Amino acid sequence: MAIPLTARTLLADDHVLLRQAVRATLELQGDFRVVAEVGDGAEAVSVALRERVDLAIIDISMPTVTGIDVARQLRDHRPDIKVLILTMHEREDLLFEALRAGAAGYVVKSAAPADLVTAARAALRGEVYLYPEDLRPLMASFLAAARDGAVEMPDALSTRELGVLKLVAEGQTNKQIAEVLSISPKTVARHRESILGKLGMHDRVGLTRYAIRRGLIDP
């Protein structure tokens, strides 16, 4: 796909000030135009499927749907959109999961504005961009450990289970989760039991700690 002269960009982050800073940084360049700003993952997917978007810059930890889940859904339904993950987490497991979900780049929020611009342009060219650079050897070591069975692969839970887990960790009830995900409370309960069984846990406290470690919610 040809690189657009002006990339129509979607920003998804629940922190308004950060979105404004990213928008200002991009629009100063002249080759980006922010066409939408949203504060949660479900809205990000909705906008991306409805609007003309070339690039989506997505926070990894958002209400309702994680940035990684957004990347998966766009990979499956709008593979023409390049996804750049923006995160506070400098962790190889989340990096690996983001790339598996179809993200074209992974940038920590402490990066300089110029690095974010470089990452966005690389994503539009179809390149994979990682910041900081030392995430590359971290990713390589993680992949090697995963092949040897020394670490848990990040897809132990299904995409739906990860979504339920996130909402459970945020303190939502089965009924509230059912409304958000458009499923029945009984289905939510079955997902909860499956999640607890797969992770070998017994209560919401353990699930919340796991969700924090996975970057599904902020500490």
Among 41-55, 62-76, 87-101, 118-132, which range has the highest average pLDDT?
Answer: 41-55
Say if pTM beats, i.e. exceeds, 0.85.
no
Phi-psi region at 22: left, alpha or beta (left = phi > 0; alpha = psi -120 to 50): alpha
Q: Which residue(s) pair with 7 in the sheet?
A: 32
Q: Where among 91, 110, 145 does a domain terminate? A: 145
pLDDT at position 209, please? Answer: 83
> Rounded to an integer, what distance in angstroms lies between the CA atom of residue 208 and that of residue 193?
15
> Rounded to an integer, what distance in angstroms lies between the CA atom of residue 97 and that of residue 94?
5
Residue 1 lies in a domain: no
pLDDT at position 153, please? Answer: 47
For residue 155, what pLDDT band results from cuts at 50, 70 and 90? low
**pLDDT > 60? residue 47:** yes
Quick one: which H or E segment has residue 56?
A: strand 55-59
Length of the chain: 219
40/120 same-domain check: yes
Residue 138 lies in a domain: yes
203/121 same-domain check: no
133/56 same-domain check: yes
62/138 same-domain check: yes
pLDDT at position 133, please? Answer: 67
Alpha helices in the chain, H assignment, sequence order: 16-27, 41-50, 67-77, 92-100, 113-124, 135-147, 159-169, 174-181, 185-199, 204-213
pLDDT at position 3, please? Answer: 75
Q: What is the mean pLDDT of residues 198-202?
A: 80
Q: How many CB atoms lie within 10 A of CB 137?
A: 10
Q: What is the mean pLDDT of residues 148-174?
A: 75
CATH number at residue 183: 1.10.10.10
Q: What is the mean pLDDT of residues 3-11?
A: 90
Alpha helices in 28-154, H assignment, sequence order: 41-50, 67-77, 92-100, 113-124, 135-147
53/101 same-domain check: yes
219 prior amide bond cis, ω within 30: no
98/164 same-domain check: no
**Domain span including residue 74:** 7-145
Residue 117 lies in a domain: yes
> Rounded to an integer, what distance in angstroms lies between the CA atom of residue 63 and that of residue 11?
14
105/207 same-domain check: no
On average, the pLDDT of the chain sits at: 84
Q: Which residue(s) pair with 84 in the sheet?
A: 57, 105
Among 41-45, 145-149, 204-208, which range has the highest average pLDDT?
Answer: 41-45
Distances (CA, A) of 148 to 42, 137, 169: 35, 17, 30
Domain count, the chain: 2
Q: What is the mean pLDDT of residues 25-52?
A: 94
118/206 same-domain check: no
Q: How many CB atoms lie within 10 A of CB 17?
A: 8
Residue 151 lies in a domain: no
**pLDDT > 70? residue 154:** no
Percent pLDDT > 90 in the chain is 39
Q: Where among 145, 168, 195 does a domain terminate? A: 145
